[in-house]
Each structure stands twice: as C-alpha cells, then as structure tokens.
Amino acid sequence: MSALTIRRRGSSLPLLLGVAVIAAVMTVLVISIAHTLKHVKPVKAKKPPVSAVVWGDRVFFGPNSLAHWLKVRGIGYSVWAERHPPANHLLQKKAQAQQKK
C-alpha cells in the first residue's frame, strides 16, 4: 500500500500575516466605533430664521398675500396688524428686504 503525501507549495506565513493584519484592523475599527457610541457628543443646530407667518392653514411670506386673503374673508389687514403686531412686524420686515433687492 502506498501513502500519498501532500506537500505545500509555499509557506503559509503570508496567509497567516494577512489574516492577522485584517483581524487587527477590524479590532481597531470595532473599538473605535464602540468608543464613539459610548461618548456621544450632541450636535448643536441653529434655528433657521423665521421668514413667514402661518395663518388659517396657509403660509404667507408677505403682507400683500395675507391682505388679500383677509379681504376675501371680510377683515382688513390694518385690523389684523393691530391685533397681531409680532406677525405684522415679521411680514413688514420681509417685504422691506424684498424691496431692497
């Protein structure tokens, strides 16, 4: 009976080194991700500037469109402006900014 022997063509050292490098890189990545998840820093977001008025389920970007909408419903813009000075100020400021352009 004859015994067959299988010889390796080369050294398995490069293969072992490759696996070890990949394992080390993966370990560093996992540790880095775990550290980032453990020490989360909140993101500070800026609030966008208010540039419109929401009124009656509509969004008005200027006094003219709101004045028309109010007129159709039987209310004058001047009456609305007296009752809602902050919103009126915003619309007037927006209208002035558009006129400067």
Residue 90 reports pLDDT greater than 80 = yes
Domain boundaries, the chain: 53-100
Residue 29 reports pLDDT greater than 60 = yes
Residue 7 reports pLDDT greater than 70 = no
User: Residues 50-68: pLDDT tens digits?
Assistant: 788 898 889 998 888 999 9
3-state secondary structure of 47: coil
pLDDT (average), residues 11-26: 90
Partnered with residue 59 across adjacent β-strands are 54
**Kind of pairing between the strands at 58-60 and 53-55:** antiparallel
pTM: predicted TM-score of the whole model, two decimal places: 0.51
What pLDDT, on a 0 to 100 scale, did the predictor assign at position 35? 95
Residue 95 reports pLDDT greater than 80 = no
Mean pLDDT of the chain: 86
Residue 43 to residues 32, 46, 58, 96, Cα–Cα distance (Å): 19, 10, 32, 34
